[in-house]
A and B are shown apart, each in its own frame.
Chain A
Amino acid sequence: QSVLTQPPSVSGAPRQRVTISCSGSSSNIRNNAVNWYQQLPGKAPKLLIYYDDLLPSGVSDRFSGSKSGTSASLAISGLQSEDEGDYYCASWDDRLNGVVFGGGTKLTVL
């Protein structure tokens, strides 16, 4: 049972837009930044969004992040087959005094 809650899977057709939610609490998402990671099959995780809504250099602007209260979201527009993989949200938890991850969401491009 992960501290941050994500849907196990989402899917969409090419060129469509999908969103992945990440639900937490006041001890993590409300008071701390959310970061998103992408893990493609057989690859190491990659930073996708940081400090809630910032895009690292080199990451496509098809990816965007937002946060409101105790929830955060990752949006992916213009879906492409190479986006298939696992997506994780993460934040700092003040009560646990450590980093917490969501359980991960598997993205399938139909």
Chain B
Amino acid sequence: EVQLVESGGGLVQPGRSLRLSCAASGFTFDDYAMHWVRRTPGKGLEWVSGIDWNSGGTGYADSVKGRFTISRDNVKNSLYLQMNSLSAEDTALYYCAKANRRTVGANPFDYWGQGTLVTVSS
């Protein structure tokens, strides 16, 4: 059974940093691209970032480019999101999602985690 378990969310002050993690199991992690998607009350689902199976390619939404960094450890079957210079607009439930192919692109997210909540507030 595919499982994606996010962690690392919490309350953080504006301008500070946070690192999210996603522990994957139940599939061959290094065969698939992985993504972060967030849900905000006002904007619905928003793609944040994606990474190819071997970290050879990454992509970011314009709203996080230059502030967030996606990475993965195929030995630990884990996905990460380093979030710097956080602002209130980054407050959201962050989901880890598995793609059905090796590369970031027009491929569907066939499994999702339950999400980890990030709240940016002073």
CB-nearest residue of chain A to B61: A98
Q: Which of B60, B95, B100, B108 contacts A98 (CB 8 A)?
A: B60
Contact A103 B44 (CB under 8 A): yes
Number of interface residues of B (CB under 8 A): 27
Task: Name the prevailing secondary structure of the A interface residues.
Answer: strand
Chain A stretch 73-103: residues in CB contact (< 8 A) with chain B: 86, 88, 90-92, 96-103
Q: Which of A51, A56, A101 contacts B46 (CB 8 A)?
A: A101
CB-nearest residue of chain B to A35: B108
Q: How far is the CB of B107 from chain A (nearest CB, A)?
A: 8
Q: How far is the CB of B73 from chain A (nearest CB, A)?
A: 23
A-contact bits for B82-122, CB 8 A (1 contact / 0 none): 00000000000001010010000111111111110000000
Contact A50 B100 (CB under 8 A): yes
- Chain B residue contacts of A91, Cβ below 8 A: 106
CB-nearest residue of chain A to B49: A98
* Chain A residues engaging chain B, CB cutoff 8 angstroms: 2, 32-33, 35, 37, 39, 44-47, 50-51, 56, 86, 88, 90-92, 96-104
Nearest 4 CB-CB pairings of A with B: A92-B106, A104-B44, A99-B47, A50-B108
